[in-house]
Chains A and B, each alone.
Chain A
Amino acid sequence: MSSTPKERRFVIVGAGPAGMRAAERLVEAGERPVVIDEAQRFGGQIYRQPPAVMQRERRDLYGFEAGRAAAVLDRFEALRPQVDYRPQTLVWQVEASALQLLHAGRTTTLPFDALILATGATDRVLPFPGWTLPGVYTLGAAQVALKFQATLIGPRVVFAGTGPLLYLVAWQYASHGGQVAAVLDSAPLSAKLRAAPGMLARPTVAAKGAYFLARLRLLGVPLHGGVTLLKAEGRERVTGLSWLAQGTTHTTECDAVGFGHGLRSETQLADLAGCAFDWNEIDQAWLPQRDAAGRSSVRGVYLAGDGAGILGADAAELSGAGAAQAALDDLQASSPAAASARALPTSPAATSPATSPAAAMQPHVAFRRALETAFALPPNWAAEAPDDLIVCRCEEITAGELRACARDTGARELNRLKALTRIGMGRCQGRMCAPGAARLLAEATGCPLKDVGRLRGQAPVKPLPVALLHEAAPSTVVPEDEDD
């Protein structure tokens, strides 16, 4: 890092809780960070704001989290004059010390000295037959519809899958005029009891979960645990959901289904930045390595929030501020003028071991572990998935095709399976299919999930207009087929 302190550029990707708190920390230290975000307005998914013409009461938008939302959103709004905030901008490639951006149909290059990736998460999806039908959405989508567009995915909705979002979204719909036809949890309800002691790591959060459950019961919403999702019924759109519990098959009529199985981190940019990945037992996923302060394995690249591992919004605020502090500390230490430069505020870790980043994160990790018990993924999903199940919704590649490939070619690694079947090669680049495909491959080969690896990230991480690819330097875009 040869740049002088006044020239150095801090770039944050993502304006959710982690990105907003990272920006705050940098502004407090006298910097003017660039904050790049794909959305129209800052907030991330959890504190997603409606378009300005549709502004609503925060209590209505965020429920119990209204106070938290207001604190972080208002703080970022106040910081705006000191932040180079760039909404509706996609980072589609990470190079050694520059990002490739897409905004308003144009690509530009943005050099950085320190990069903080706060890229967030999307729903982790284990598909079931019929999941591509109109009216079937993720749980996250159901929330986006409500928060961002003041609409419901349907008047009469079944919420299914598992995870804390399942009950939260069901309650949000029930209290906003939606009819919740059923809540179908693939984890048994007894698992919640088993997880209860661990949930006491964050008692108020656990109490909110219990509240949603109690309210849904009071409203007479049918709640079922240990459910296997059989099929979304309908031809033009979903008209019902068939499911199995305790050996009995049921069909619940509905106009929409919201489903998901927890969250998965958006790690493509960390991958393109060259970050090393480790297997994470709690998330059951390969995640970019980071130290307690948020440093990745790559100098100058920092990781924060759910994009580096699922710990939730409150932990994201902590890790965002922590990663920004680490970036400040590192640039300070590496600056040739460090000795004579103005003193930067030192990391809280250096002054107060009791509130070290790792210690502050501890309850969030303990709670997350308990959530994984309470909302365990369906253990037999891969074995039970029918051969004609569409796993890749982009290119309609089926579970049977993946199984046949593993059987006939001996493919044991996910990128090999991708090269042979195109799984993960469609427009979403594996965001929707990877959790399912990895589990099917592990099941077919008899390997632990960890051993099938992870899909490598490819630039552009999201589709670009074709005309732009001709403008970009040839070396920056690797044709997908070159892989493997």
Chain B
Amino acid sequence: MPRDEIAFTLDGRACSALEGDTVLTALLTQGQRLRESDFSDAPRAGFCLMGACQDCWVQLESGERLRACTTPLLPGMQVRTGARR
């Protein structure tokens, strides 16, 4: 079953993913990391994918924070990974 494309932005850049993708899937299709560690600059990209480890929290441009592995990507989401641009 072909899936519809969903448009979103990642650190201001226009991107697209597929309906049914989580925010994590959409972001890791575009790049290697979701965020940097709060305690070092080390890159992170999630770990358990089931909402337990809390490693994949990202921020929307609005400031709202969400857990990428359990949040479905919605059209028009503006995601900020905190990665250096």
User: What is the interface of chain A, defined by CB distance below 8 A to chain B?
Assistant: 38-40, 45, 50-55, 122-123, 132-138, 140-141, 144-145, 148-149, 151, 236-237, 266, 393-396, 426-428, 431-432, 462-463, 465
Contact = CB atoms under 8 A, between A and B. Distances in A.
Given A53-B3, A396-B40, A122 B50 contact: yes
B21 to A, nearest CB: 7
Contact of B32 (A50, A145, A237): A237
Interface in B1-31: 1, 3-4, 19-22, 25
Contact of A137 (B33, B40, B48, B52): B48
Nearest to B50: A144
A462 B72 contact: no
Nearest to B34: A134
A396 B22 CA distance: 26
30 contacts: A39-B70, A50-B20, A51-B19, A51-B72, A54-B3, A54-B20, A55-B1, A122-B48, A122-B50, A132-B42, A132-B44, A136-B47, A137-B47, A138-B49, A140-B48, A141-B50, A144-B49, A144-B50, A145-B25, A149-B22, A236-B33, A237-B33, A237-B43, A393-B55, A428-B53, A431-B53, A432-B48, A462-B51, A463-B57, A465-B65
B3 A141 contact: no
B43 A134 contact: yes
A54 B22 CA distance: 12
A53 B50 CA distance: 19
A431 B48 CA distance: 10
A236 B43 contact: yes
A140 B22 CA distance: 17
Nearest to B51: A38
A142 to B, nearest CB: 8
Given A133-B43, A134-B43, A396-B40, 15 more contacts: A38-B70, A45-B50, A50-B20, A51-B20, A55-B1, A123-B48, A134-B45, A135-B45, A138-B47, A138-B53, A144-B49, A144-B69, A393-B47, A396-B37, A463-B67
B54 A427 contact: yes
Contacts of A52: 20
A52 B69 CA distance: 17
Contacts of B53: 122, 138, 393, 428, 431-432
Nearest to A56: B1
A45 B51 CA distance: 11
Nearest to A136: B47
Contacts of B25: 145, 149, 151
A136 B32 CA distance: 12
Contact of B20 (A38, A53, A122, A465): A53
Contacts of B39: 395-396
Contacts of B20: 50-54, 149
Contacts of A54: 1, 3, 20
A52 B37 CA distance: 33
Contacts of A122: 48, 50, 52-53
A407 B67 CA distance: 37
Nearest to A134: B45
A42 to B, nearest CB: 14
Query: What are the nearest 4 A-B pairs in CB distance?
Result: A134-B45, A427-B54, A141-B49, A51-B20
In this complex, the member of A40, A122, A132 whose beta carbon has the largest number of chain B beta carbons within 10 angstroms is A132
A396 B55 CA distance: 12
A141 B49 CA distance: 5
Contact of A236 (B32, B38, B69, B70): B32
B44 A137 contact: no
Contacts of A38: 51, 70
A432 B47 contact: yes
A151 B27 CA distance: 13
Contacts of A237: 32-33, 43, 45
Interface in B52-70: 52-55, 57, 64-65, 67, 69-70
A257 B24 CA distance: 17
Given A54-B1, A55-B1, A396-B39, A137 B46 contact: yes
Nearest to B39: A396
Contacts of A45: 50
Contacts of A431: 48, 52-53
A15 B25 CA distance: 23
Contacts of A141: 46-50
Contacts of B46: 137, 141
Contacts of B52: 122, 266, 428, 431-432
Nearest to A145: B49
A122 B69 CA distance: 15
Contacts of A135: 32, 45
Contacts of B43: 133-134, 236-237
Contacts of A50: 20
A395 B48 CA distance: 16
A87 to B, nearest CB: 11
Contacts of A266: 52
A134 B44 contact: yes
B23 to A, nearest CB: 11
